Amino acid sequence: MQWMSWSRLRTWQARRSDRVLVLCASFLAGLILARLHWVLPSWFVVLLGLLAIAGVKKPVFQFVVLGLFGLSLGIWRGAAYLQALQPYQEFARQKVTITGKVSLDAVYGKHGQLSFEIKKVQFHAPRAVEVPGTVRVSGFGELAIYRGDIVQATGKLYPTRGGKQAAMGYAQLERIGNEQTWIDGFRRSFVAGIQTALPEPAASFGLGLLIGQRNTLPAAISHAFLMVGLMHIIAVSGYNLTILVSAARRLLEKRSKLLMITLAGGLMTFFLLITGAAPSVVRAAVVSGLGLAAWYYGRRVRPMVLILLAAALTSYATPVYFWSDIAWWLSVLAFFGILVIAPAVMGRLYRDKKPSVLMAMAIETLSAELMTMPLIMYIFGQVSLIALLANLLVALFVPYAMLLSFIAGAVGMLAPLLSGWVAWPAQILLTYMLDTAVVLSRLPNVFHTNIYISALDMALCYALVIWLLFLLKRRKMVWFSAVHKG
């Protein structure tokens, strides 16, 4: 792209999507400044108002005003959220009493403790205060705790990293009420239906595919999936939601737009409710919802607009996603690879032709791996060398496994006596996927740990990826031209 002179820049009419990009990017930059404890000065607000009055009709000034507005909004929102989280630091390493709503069914963890997470947290001691965020709790005092229960926990509070604001261990637990909905009851009935219809570990694997419940999966199976790079298919992630929306679109887009939008919207809402609205699922729902809305009204939305808008909306609601939630970041990076890098690669390799399903999946998997691997190596220090092969052999069958598992669970819930006959297709497919992952994990030297990289190395990796993407999107590329001529 040629650089524009100042005279051309003043008369340049930007697309509406460019304004959205600037606003979202500047808002996220404001969140970063807020995390660094920047304070929004009063003169900055006055300057923003003057710019809005003086240059509202000029495109260049519009971008300046939008950028400053997004920056100030991010600083304000981030500072307000940090202030609301202050009690976690104030009460750290003290004995506290809190109440909250359980977000997922409790499971037995280390030393026989019930382990779960609570939201809508309220401190009652040392002083009464309501705070946002999530607390991971482990303790004794109840035989079972389910999603929707209101629990009181007393114990020592410890700070944590990542998407959780604090943790409590060896707490004294007491269930004091519940706010369970029909979704919670349906979820438990469906879990029981799958466990009736399918044997273990196929039942737990099916639950991981459908609702992201992996705490009942055997540790050996979970480790095998980790080694071969398949954890994303059994985690509460946007991957499963994307599959559901894509299936609805392929099934109905040629018949009725309204019916397809209704079905896809219903699936997204139901999946959000049944999984507890995990950060990565919320972000995927926003991306999918915006993409479907644009498709319904006959408009094309640039992938970067979808990604940044979804990131800004979810970060505005919960800034801690952007600050420290690794699952949220991995989801965003994977979507960038799938929506931006993969189409650029396929466009250069195939031009106007459509690649095969296997080749498209291979390119998308490589693109997602390319974007997520530097962060995984920086945070976890691990890498799987067989992830591409595992995804081609296993992930290709995820949509069919989800459908068959849902049928098995529904029959197990409604007609348990017939579930064994109806569930055998799901059992065959799930067993194949499990066995494939286990066999691949036993190959030598496919999984490496303690391969940490520095923050600078990670930044250089992403800079290299952006440079390669720039080369892919150039109109004239000698290498690709030579390939196509040959």
The pLDDT value given to residue 428: 94
Q: Report how far residue 311's alpha carbon sits from residue 182's, in angstroms, rounded to the nearest whole number.
A: 30
Q: What are the pLDDT digits (tens) for 156-191?
A: 999 988 778 899 989 999 999 888 777 778 888 888
CB 292, CB 262: distance < 8 Å: no
Candidate from 22-31, 72-81, 213-222, 285-294 with smallest mean pLDDT = 285-294
For residue 250, pLDDT beyond 70 = no
Mean pLDDT of 235-248: 67
The pLDDT value given to residue 448: 87
The pLDDT value given to residue 1: 40
The pLDDT value given to residue 276: 66
Instruction: Look up the pTM and report it.
Output: 0.81
The pLDDT value given to residue 445: 87
Count CA within 13 A, CB hemisphere, residue 354: 1
For domain 92-179, the CATH superfamily is Nucleic acid-binding proteins (2.40.50.140)
The pLDDT value given to residue 475: 54
The pLDDT value given to residue 273: 73
For residue 480, pLDDT beyond 50 = no
Confidence of residue 139 (pLDDT cuts 50, 70, 90): very high
The pLDDT value given to residue 482: 46
Mean pLDDT of 416-433: 90
The pLDDT value given to residue 7: 47
Q: Report how far residue 6's alpha carbon sits from residue 12's, in angstroms, rounded to the nearest whole number.
A: 10
Task: Please name the residue that has the structure tokens 């490496």.
Answer: 448
Confidence of residue 351 (pLDDT cuts 50, 70, 90): confident
Percent of the chain with pLDDT over 70: 85
For residue 15, pLDDT beyond 70 = no
Confidence of residue 207 (pLDDT cuts 50, 70, 90): confident
Query: Of 239, 238, 240, 262, which is closest to residue 251 (Cα–Cα)?
Result: 262
Q: Report how far residue 379's alpha carbon sits from residue 336's, in angstroms, rounded to the nearest whole number.
A: 19
The pLDDT value given to residue 110: 77
- Kindly list the domain boundaries of the chain, sorted by start residue: 12-81, 92-179, 187-474
Give Cβ neighbours of residue 167 (< 8 Å, ≥ 6 apart): 135, 136, 137, 138, 157, 158, 159, 160
For residue 226, pLDDT beyond 50 = yes
Q: What are the pLDDT digits (tens) for 24-42?
A: 999 999 999 999 988 877 6
The pLDDT value given to residue 476: 46
Q: What are the pLDDT digits (tens) for 448-474?
A: 888 899 999 999 999 999 998 888 877
The pLDDT value given to residue 46: 67
Beta pairing partners, 193: none
The pLDDT value given to residue 29: 94
Q: Report how far residue 70's alpha carbon sits from residue 211's, in angstroms, rounded to the nearest whole number.
A: 35
Average pLDDT, the chain: 82
DSSP 8-state code for residue 215 = T
Write the single-letter amino acid at 235: A
The pLDDT value given to residue 406: 87
- Two tokens, residue 394: 């296993």
The pLDDT value given to residue 8: 45
The pLDDT value given to residue 345: 87
Confidence of residue 12 (pLDDT cuts 50, 70, 90): very low
Task: Give the CA-trace dihedral at 29, 288, 276, 243, to 10 degrees.
Answer: -130
Q: What are the pLDDT digits (tens) for 67-100?
A: 888 888 899 999 999 999 999 999 999 999 999 9
Percent of the chain with pLDDT over 90: 28
- Two tokens, residue 105: 């069914």
Confidence of residue 350 (pLDDT cuts 50, 70, 90): confident
CB 421, CB 482: distance < 8 Å: no
